[in-house]
Amino acid sequence: MITYHYTEIEKQKIFYREAGNPKKPTLVLLHGFPSSSFYFRNLMPLLENDFHLLAPDYPGFGQSAKPNHKEFKYSFEHLTDIVEALIEQLLIKRYYLYVFDYGAPIGFRLALRQPESVLGIISQNGNIYQEGLGAKWQERAKYWHNPTQAQRQAFQSAFAPDTIKNQYLNGERPGSVAPDGYSLDIFYSQNANYAEVQSDLIFDYQNNVALYPTFQKYLRQEEPKLLALWGKNDPSFVYPGAEAFKRDLPKAEIHLLDAGHFALESQYQIIADYIKNWH
């Protein structure tokens, strides 16, 4: 049974989903862009007998608060602060991480801060390698090096309704993805503050790329247990990013799935089985 909660962190309302027995190992589920913890709605019931599950919405996403970007710093470092505070508030000492998309730079920052707390990492299209960056990131790199207001506005196409829908459907078999996920994401994108919030995060993503060597060093030094489950048809984070884990972590378990970026939408049963066998 999934339960739904709100708490307060840094005077902001933070929403999270929870399931499973708290006496079981905790698995922290970290969503991506432009989604929310709703992304894990199908996976959580399949894992609740094996884990204590925690899936938060970051500030600016889902049901969590969406403070004005002039009053709240939207950076991946700050989102990590929020997730870390939630984990501490719930008195969780050790945990597994499921990192997807934006969840990867947040989850790997947590691992850098608290390597002794991380039992293992599941990366589902959660990239930390240059070779995992699809073609669109070349244009974003140009923007990072020469930011202009016009370019900032141009990248707002990343959360236009048709773009969101296509992110869900690209690389998937026709009829295999329900409209629920992208419809909800489109609904959330209509918030008046949304464009500025997400634009701040698109610009800040350059700091995640700069940290890739540090994340990779963490893998070599700490040798965490790692499972990579990758929608191989993802044009955003391409599958060589999954295969690259083997370079720093030869014991990593890697599976390429016939799916796109939001692989859980069509592959949640297969992903759940892989996680159960791995953990």
Q: Is 261 a catalytic residue?
A: yes
Task: Describe the strand order of the beta sheet including 26-30 as a list of residue ranges.
Answer: 3-9, 12-19, 52-56, 26-30, 95-100, 118-124, 226-231, 253-257
The two three-digit tokens of residue 81, written as one number: 């602060």
Annotated catalytic residue: which of 31, 52, 69, 261?
261
pLDDT tens digit string along 49-89?
999 999 999 999 999 999 999 999 999 999 999 999 999 99
The whole-model pTM stands at 0.97
pLDDT tens digit string along 167-204?
999 999 999 999 999 999 999 999 888 999 999 999 99
For the cut 90, the answer to whether the pLDDT of residue 156 exceeds it is no
- The model's confidence at residue 143, banded by pLDDT at 50, 70 and 90, is very high
Domains annotated for the chain, with CATH where assigned, are: 3-278 (3.40.50.1820)
The two three-digit tokens of residue 36, written as one number: 């929310």
- The model's confidence at residue 279, banded by pLDDT at 50, 70 and 90, is confident
The two three-digit tokens of residue 170, written as one number: 């690209």
237 secondary structure, DSSP code: B
| Dist CA 167 CA 173 (whole Å) | 13
Percentage of the chain exceeding pLDDT 70: 100
Q: Are strands 12-19 and 3-9 parallel, antiparallel or unpaired?
A: antiparallel
